[in-house]
Structure 1
Amino acid sequence: MKGPISAFPILSIDRRSAIPLFRQVYAALSAAILDQRLPPGARLPATRSLAEQLSLSRTAVVAAYEQLLAEGYTTGRVGAGTYVSTDLPGKPRGRVAKPPTAVGRTDHGIPRLAGQVDVTLQNDARPFNLGRTLVDSRTMDIWRRLSARSLRSLSRSHLGYGDPRGSPELRSALAAYLASHRAVRCDPEQIIVTSGTQHAMDLVTRILLPSGSEAWIEDPGYPLTREALTAAGVTLHPVPVDSQGLDVAAAMRTAPRAHAAFITPSHQFPTGVVLSMARRLELIAWARSADAWIVEDDYASEFRYGGHPLAALQGLDGEGRTLYVGTLNKGLFPGLRVGYLVVPEMLLPRFVATRYLADRQPPGLQQEVLASFIADGHLASHIRRMRNLYRGQRDRLVDALRRQASDFLQIDPPDQGMHLVAYLRDGLSDTAIARAALDHDVVVRPLSRLYVRAKLRQGLLLGFSGYPASSIARAAGQLANASRNLAIKAHQMLAEARDP
């Protein structure tokens, strides 16, 4: 390790900005690390020293350092100093590739369905189904008040057609929120309001991936993205996921000239791992050299329980190769049906035209309510309250499973997200347990079904965000009973096979 840097650059802090002070310190330091103005192995100043230099509270600088450490920019531990990571790839060199021309789908036939989508199970309200949320009385009261105000005013803007991208007020509110909370770099003009993640993915597929295109997907990964791409005739290259996220080197060996990579970098679905900083930079460098696109699905990253939410990959990409997909259906409630797509400027005209032809525009009244809800700070407050609530739900579920099912399940509490993965012991079948659990009024998803080619693991996905705390222990006990009964039957069958 190198010693402390002798002339640390003065960071620019804008106290009038809506971006939190710790986030400004983090952004300046991470940019200096990526540009190698802070070289690998360099020691950062002590937090107290930097706080005095910037006339900031030490708390803000500590939070920035913790974020840099969490995202892999730095290494070190309390009392031993903070150093710039030495395993980050160098700055990309060479000619910047000419951006490809966005093309539409070339096939006119009806796309074949890739599989059977179980929409009934999606609507099941029993624990521990995925994707469900809670809304407290404070949010409900604010939502009712804002909705009533919009209905009373019914301004002239609702009496005609609007911008296909969504209302300027909502897009401005989203841009400010994303800059402050997700470190996304965009202007309101780059945002397209959608009805959710699947709508955004459909736009991406229609415009960038004609039939026969190649794409990377995570293995295991989100099944609806895989189904949608397969139905569109895209050739998929499943890429294994390990403790550092998507294996970029393996993907480049398998399909170096793929047209796009579909990833969940901040909270990989379903495993929950975070894409390491080294691999994020490798992915961006690949997209740049291969004229490819990165589609970042940032589906539940606000709910991080061990610190501030991790910065989006899109904010790292200075080449404009990343399309950022977000949703309010997880942060608020799935019935809202509002998401958003942040599009690189070079692609914007085609995306706006396609959005217009497919669905004209999003609903106006709902946008007006949402714009006020976000701009007035209610969304950020709601997320903070739900983060605390979901943390408690997670801890309650982990405790119940460890007490009642530790002989069948291995549970590692997730640091982020709205579900956990419980890995099975003793060779039990996750699909068999999922079927048995339904008879005990419990919904769990088998992990093994989310694999394509990678070596699969048997496990269960359990959502913990959308259920009353009082129901969690009881449902965990029912799941334990279902697992125990299956284990007993499996042992009996094995004994009978050995001693007929």
Structure 2
Amino acid sequence: MSAPTAILGAVHLDPRSEIPLYRQLYENVRVAILDGRLLAGLRMPPSRTLAKELAIGRNTVVSAYEQLIAEGYLESRVGSGTRVAAIPPDTLIETGPSEERNVAPDPRRRLSARGEAMLTVKRASPSFVKGHVLPFQHGMPSLELFPHQVWARLLARRARQPQSRLFDYQLGTGFPALREAIAEYLGAARGVICGPDNVIVTAGAQASLDLATRLVVDPGDVVWHEEPGYMGARGAFLAASARILPVPVDKEGLNPDAAPGGEKPPRLIYCTPSHQYPLGVTMSLTRRLALLQYANETGAWILEDDYDSEFRYAGRPLSSLQGLDRAGGVIYMGTMAKTLFPAIRIGYLVVPDNLIEAFQRAIRVTGQNPPAIVQAALADFMLEGHFSAHIRRMRSLYAERRILLLQELEKQLGGRIKPSAPDGGMQLPAFLPEGVSDDDVVAAADRHKVLASPVSHFYLTQRKRHALYLGFAGVPEQMIAPGVERLGLALAECGV
């Protein structure tokens, strides 16, 4: 059999497939080599010849050949053309395209106990469906009103500096100008006491949680977790093999006096005092001081998650726990995902002086740094005043959307659900009547193209309250009333 005949007999291309033709050709030849239909040493047709025989572009054949050569299936030598590589016989196995493999799992290869535990953390609903935002996804800022042109200009300007440190490995805990900008902003806006050295720039809130937990929590240590509380934090604590102890939240925030008895003191206390996630309450000053005193008495660390404190619509924000702390026991964390856009993947930690060196070393080991060029552009964005201007615009916009959502819920749904109206944030809980499952309502809402999250999933114990977590910040005004109308249809399906 001639080489062209052998190749053509092994190739079956489908121009209607979503898989690119070069990838189809690559896969066909690879499989034919592995199952022995194309033998070692067989000379492959020139790319131009094969392209003509298959009625495809020559570049398609060249791309497939290049990939096969790179992976060792073909060999190319000057003067002798391209040939099938001499693959050892034990690799000639019966195989199909990689997309169709169905390999039986080997029981010896399994997840770790920590990996299995992480799988128990429920995922939040997606924020986009086929590229379109839907009401009422929580945690989403207004992406359509972000100053994209300004951001693109700043990013492009930094990209035109190829000789700068932005293209090497030396940033460590963050781009110096960004750390300075964050320290200055937090001092003015949140009363955080820190300098640039205390700021550790990370690849988002989840990276901050993971890094902080790795450094202060050992397997088996008790971690206090708000009940209900943020599922992402729960995942980080499970990954550290911590013993998670749910502590109830009341109208003043996390209540240390309500912690379950008979347990050893916590190594870490995780809380969201500015805007509790998901109930939305603000921790009172009395409770803040009591929590700091308890942590100092027991030697516990406090991890303060200040995820969306920029958006407060009534009164002045209370000072951060970190700003009230005088014993160096608070690790403060924030994120740019809520203030700017989620894909920026930049968060930050503010750590006490005695932890700076440990965090500096650990972040180099874990590699949880965001891209340097993005950090530099963000520093410019903050230092040139765009950040504070954007926050002011969004605070006003989100306040209007919050009022509109509350009005439409009252107007269209009346007393069928009871929304809470927290003083800040980007979302609110709406409580369901007794006996109604928020899982059922969320499933019905999904059928009506409304995204809501079940508050019951934020609980670790069976003492659950059933409510819908409704975001408003990223929902354009014209979508709020129709969204509430569709939510009403979903409630009706569930007998509400």
TM-score range, shorter chain: 0.7 to 0.9
Q: Could you tell me the TM-score, scaled by structure 2's length?
A: 0.73
Query: What SS does the aligned partner of 1:218 have?
Result: strand
By how many angstroms is 1:153 displaced? Answer: 3.0
Partner in structure 2 of residue 118 of structure 1: 123
Question: Structure 1 residues 252, 430: CA separation in 2 closer, same or farther (over 3 Å shift)?
Answer: closer
Following superposition of structure 1 onto structure 2, how do residues 24-63 of structure 1 map, counting pairs within 5 Å? none
Amino acid at match of 2:126: L
Deviations 1:66-108 (A, max 9, x none): xxxxxxxxxxxxxxxxxxxxxxxxxxxxxxxxxxxxxxxxxx9
Query: What SS does the aligned partner of 2:140 have?
Result: coil
Partner in structure 1 of residue 274 of structure 2: 266
Tell me if structure 2 keeps the 8 A contact 1:256–1:290. no
By how many angstroms is 1:182 displaced? Answer: 0.7
Tell me if 1:431 matches 2:439.
Answer: yes
* 205-214 or 433-442: bigger deviation: 205-214
Give the one of 217, 226, 238 matched to 1:218.
226
Question: Structure 1 residues 395, 254: CA separation in 2 closer, same or farther (over 3 Å shift)?
Answer: farther
Q: Gaps spanning 5+ residues in structure 2: where? A: 1-111
Question: Structure 1 residues 291, 442: CA separation in 2 closer, same or farther (over 3 Å shift)?
Answer: same
Amino acid at match of 1:473: A
1-side partners of 2:314 and 2:152: how far apart? 32
Partner in structure 2 of residue 156 of structure 1: 164
Give the one of 287, 299, 302 matched to 1:291.
299
How many residues are treated as equivalent by the alignment? 381
Partner in structure 1 of residue 213 of structure 2: 205
Deviations 1:298-332 (A, max 9, x none): 00010001133332110000100000010011000
Q: Could you tell me the TM-score, scaled by structure 1's length?
A: 0.73
Amino acid at match of 1:343: V
1-side partners of 2:462 and 2:384: how far apart? 46
1-side partners of 2:203 and 2:377: how far apart? 15
Tell me if 1:471 matches 2:484.
Answer: no
Query: What SS does the aligned partner of 2:147 have?
Result: helix
Question: Structure 1 residues 360, 327: CA separation in 2 closer, same or farther (over 3 Å shift)?
Answer: closer
Deviations 1:331-384 (A, max 9, x none): 000011100001111111111111001117431111111101111221111011
Query: What SS does the aligned partner of 2:312 have?
Result: coil
Give the one of 372, 376, 395 matched to 1:368.
376
1-side partners of 2:127 and 2:236: how far apart? 16
By how many angstroms is 1:403 displaced? Answer: 1.1
Query: What SS does the aligned partner of 1:154 have?
Result: coil
Tell me if structure 1 keeps the 8 A contact 2:222–2:267. yes
Following superposition of structure 1 onto structure 2, how do residues 299-378 of structure 1 map, counting pairs within 5 Å? 299-359=307-367, 361-378=369-386
Tell me if structure 2 keeps the 8 A contact 1:215–1:237. yes
By how many angstroms is 1:164 displaced? Answer: 1.1
Tell me if 1:276 matches 2:284.
Answer: yes
CA root-mean-square deviation:
1.9
Tell me if structure 2 keeps the 8 A contact 1:219–1:454. no
1-side partners of 2:368 and 2:230: how far apart? 28
Following superposition of structure 1 onto structure 2, how do residues 439-458 of structure 1 map, counting pairs within 5 Å? 439-453=447-461, 455-458=463-466
By how many angstroms is 1:154 displaced? Answer: 3.5
Partner in structure 1 of residue 57 of structure 2: none
By how many angstroms is 1:187 displaced? Answer: 0.9
* 401-410 or 257-266: bigger deviation: 401-410
Deviations 1:376-434 (A, max 9, x none): 22111101100111111111111111111123111232210000111112532211100
Question: Structure 1 residues 435, 138: CA separation in 2 closer, same or farther (over 3 Å shift)?
Answer: closer
Question: Structure 1 residues 323, 254: CA separation in 2 closer, same or farther (over 3 Å shift)?
Answer: farther
Amino acid at match of 1:420: L
Aligned sequence identity (%) = 39
2-side partners of 1:120 and 1:128: how far apart? 10
Tell me if structure 2 keeps the 8 A contact 1:314–1:322. yes
By how many angstroms is 1:469 displaced? Answer: 1.0
2-side partners of 1:274 and 1:198: how far apart? 22
By how many angstroms is 1:155 displaced? Answer: 4.1
2-side partners of 1:109 and 1:346: how far apart? 32
By how many angstroms is 1:118 displaced? Answer: 3.0
Following superposition of structure 1 onto structure 2, how do residues 90-239 of structure 1 map, counting pairs within 5 Å? 111-114=115-118, 115-118=120-123, 121=126, 123-124=128-129, 125-135=133-143, 139-239=147-247
Query: What SS does the aligned partner of 1:112 have?
Result: helix
Tell me if 1:417 matches 2:425.
Answer: yes
Deviations 1:435-488 (A, max 9, x none): 000000001111112112263222110010112111111011000111012217
Larger radius of gyration: 2
Give the one of 474, 482, 493 matched to 2:490.
482
Tell me if 1:402 matches 2:418.
Answer: no
By how many angstroms is 1:137 displaced? Answer: 5.2
* 304-313 or 151-160: bigger deviation: 151-160
Tell me if structure 2 keeps the 8 A contact 1:301–1:310. no
Tell me if structure 2 keeps the 8 A contact 1:197–1:326. yes
2-side partners of 1:274 and 1:200: how far apart? 22
Deviations 1:137-179 (A, max 9, x none): 5722221221222122334212322231001100000000000
Q: Gaps spanning 5+ residues in structure 1: where? A: 1-107, 489-500
Question: Structure 1 residues 202, 470: CA separation in 2 closer, same or farther (over 3 Å shift)?
Answer: same
Deviations 1:9-42 (A, max 9, x none): xxxxxxxxxxxxxxxxxxxxxxxxxxxxxxxxxx
2-side partners of 1:240 and 1:109: how far apart? 27
Deviations 1:162-216 (A, max 9, x none): 2310011000000000001011001100111011111001011111111111110
Question: Structure 1 residues 421, 369: CA separation in 2 closer, same or farther (over 3 Å shift)?
Answer: same
1-side partners of 2:145 and 2:268: how far apart? 42
